[in-house]
Amino acid sequence: MNMNRQAKISIIVPVYNEATNIQAFMSYMEQFKPHCEIIFVDGGSDDGTDQILAEKYMLSYSSKKGRSYQMNHGASLASGDILLFLHSDSLLSDGALAEIERIISEGYKVGCFKIRFDSSSILMKICSFMSSVRVRVRNIAFGDQGIFIERDFFNQLGGFAELPLMEDYQLSMDIKRYGQKIALADATIITSERRFTKFGRIRTMAKMQKLQYMHRQGVDSAKIASLYEEDAI
């Protein structure tokens, strides 16, 4: 990428039934409007999320519910040189955009942020630390870490595999196959721990490890998604 000019960043946010929290997130995103293209992609919300968003932001609709479909749809609309996939329960720390530009200018095609959960739990602090270790050692980034990637490279990969779950894990595996390193930014992303508290922190962590193993073994993605929603390991 030619970095003699400032790269344009497109922020893509998949949403589904986030009416309770979306107003606060919209207010937070205002700071990025002068610098970035912001695209929200709704997966068929029935709680008014889309109506709230449409008042102030570019909003499109995915033909299917699911982050992989929604993010791919957003990417197809984006005009930026760099795509940043951001969850609506995640907030970037100061300097995040500058970190993206620095990393891409150093020759990386993809990166993510150090994660910090909105929790004082020691277990979640350990989870945050291990997330950074996972990126550095295994070259695997998860969606809640705010994956950013050169648009041309994203298209070369074929985008996210259109799976009901594990699309971020599969993207990391695809990146590995292309021999690219995922850079870990110095900036942090603050993320809600809500997906860990639904069934319990330890149970959720154990479940995710099991489901990742199943994905590597080629188990059907629909079965993996079904198990994810069950209150069982």
Burial of 179 (0-12, 13-18, 19+ CB in 10 A): exposed
Q: What does the block give as tokens for 211?
A: 């489901």
Name the pTM for this structure: 0.92
User: What is the Cα–Cα distance from 124 to 118, expressed in whole angstroms?
Assistant: 9
Residue-range domains of the chain with CATH: 9-195 (3.90.550.10), 198-233 (no CATH)
Position 5 scores a pLDDT of 54
Position 96 scores a pLDDT of 97
For the chain, the average pLDDT equals 93
Q: In the structure, what pLDDT confidence band is assigned to residue 231 with cuts at 50, 70 and 90?
A: low
User: What is the Cα–Cα distance from 64 to 61, expressed in whole angstroms?
Assistant: 8
User: What is the Cα–Cα distance from 99 to 105, expressed in whole angstroms?
Assistant: 10
Position 91 scores a pLDDT of 97
Q: Residue 208 pLDDT > 90, yes or no? A: no
